[in-house]
Amino acid sequence: MPLVFATHNHHKLTEVKAILPQFIESLSLNDINCHEDIAETANSIEGNAQLKARYVFKNYNLPCFADDTGLFVNALNGEPGVYSARYAGGQKNAQANIQKLMQNLNHVQDRSAYFKTVIAFKTQNEEKIFTGICKGEITKTPSGKSGFGYDPIFKPQGYTETFAALDANTKNQISHRSLALQKFIDYLK
């Protein structure tokens, strides 16, 4: 079953393709010649995921799923949240985002946080939402070379290493994105 995954993010596409079963053929936005940067203007990650899925379906008439992810830090009242990718500005610079978050958490004891991914699925006849949450904490220093975004500073609950230090197989079993994807896969079965 071919489905468009509404992303230009190579890291995210690789991670998702590693989790999806073979019966789901995943096409990227580049595969369908969609080179637009789909605006994420909603005030929630649910809304942003829906905007992307609806955009692809409306303009390309293809079944689509889209995701949006936010990192929610309890001591910062949920920041960066829906603005996670643009926390340090519109350039979507992961290093700058990490640096800003670390500065905002300087001298803060409660470093608890969670990642939340929402997948929006859109076809001619349906629209569904699937959510995955991974609780953990923000480390005081980055560690690990894998992953992307905030992975070097997020240590999932029950683990001693950050997402960036865990092997891809372990991360793909416990991450927020994999939990949302598993719900989506179960629905498609």
Quick: pLDDT tens for 18-75.
888 888 888 999 999 999 989 899 999 999 999 999 999 999 999 999 999 999 999 9
Residue 99: phi and psi, rounded to 5, are: -60, -45
Amino acid 63: pLDDT: 95
pLDDT reading at 147 higher than 90 = no
pLDDT at 25: 87
Q: Grade residue 1 by pLDDT with cuts at 50, 70 and 90.
A: low
State residue 50's pLDDT score: 97
What pLDDT shows up at residue 12? 84
The pTM (predicted TM-score) of the whole model is 0.92
Q: Is 48 exposed, middle or buried (0-12, 13-18, 19+ CB in 10 A)?
A: buried
Note if 68 is an active site residue: yes
160 is written with which tokens?
């001693």
What is residue 137's predicted lDDT score, i.e. its pLDDT? 98
Active-site option among 37, 67, 68, 151 = 68
Q: In this predicted model, what pLDDT tens digit does every residue of 2-20 receive, in sequence order?
A: 899 999 888 888 888 888 8
Q: Quick one: what percent of the chain has pLDDT higher than 90?
A: 80
- Which residues fall within 8 angstroms of residue 152, CB to CB, at 6 or more apart? 98, 142, 143, 144, 162, 163, 164, 165
**Can you list the domains of the chain with their CATH numbers?**
2-188 (3.90.950.10)
Cβ distance 134 to 179 under 8 Å?
yes
